[in-house]
Chain A
């Protein structure tokens, strides 16, 4: 009824191929951006920003990165945490070497280091597929985790073996470190995530995205229509790792303010993978849904007993959280293997034909 495209004619192929071809979607996305950029900074509390919004932005970006590789190109990776770590440590080194440089630029550039490392670990992907490749990425994960501890140069020979984020600025405003306000960090994170999301959606809708999906759906046929598998897969690895690297740098610099090897361990990889699965493999928007659910759920679970006036030990809540996340993963796979993004589409379809059943 309200969500209807009838009467909206597209007169050019360009309009038909636009990111949001339907007017209502354009209004919706504009409203979300307005709230995110204007309303939230004005009214949100530090708690909301630091433990909800910034984490979700960071994790969504990492999930988009993994989704490009696993959801779009069909290459299962268990090394996301490691690639995020490369970004974080690279950014730390860059801030030490160029203390006066614009920190936003450094965060984005540190993704390049991650892309390079990701490509190296993507090299076996031509010879091996599926679970076998997952093991190769596991090698990356454990090797990188080890490097983050054993190569003291990475954390400037700090005794704690951790990186402490220094105060760095962009355009004279402190963006990272103790002097940066939550709102500044939020706005920087938001801008990076919005820009990179837009770029990702451009890539997946164009030639490169089609070659990725072709490789995912049927690599043999893809090869026979002239897609070079090796290049395509390596490019997916590079771009995916770039996204993960930027997310890792943001995790250290804009969210936690510190990081160590443990912040980028195998559990981090799994967590991001769950976000991608629950959100929807092969959906950019799903990555946001997944991050919101997986990150938001524990917060809700923690708050829920209090809300009902029951006191539960913190440890028990944490354990229950594992059970709930596990059950949810299975539940979603059974109900809708295509994740939350698909449910969202179905809901839109229903809205479109409402009040009629179809």
Chain B
């Protein structure tokens, strides 16, 4: 089988990933619901992962995919801890709007 990139072209993947990443950024900035912010972060993470895999194919190198594997492991841990924190915040202040999270005030 010929390589897929001869037919699609790496630039298409770059465009896709950048667009996806921008959507994620917009979500982070626009939404106040902590869980939606969380989801936006996941979208950004996946955009980067996808670009990694695309370039891994482009360079015909294993490293990109290995890196994606690790980033998934980290993402899983992050989501677990993050959601636990959100749950305890919700338990304490009854809301998960990031406007209400002022405890970081210096």
Answer yes or no: do A and B interact: no
Q: Measuring CB to CB, which residues of chain B are less than 8 angstroms from any residue of chain A?
A: none
Q: Measuring CB to CB, which residues of chain A are less than 8 angstroms from any residue of chain B?
A: none
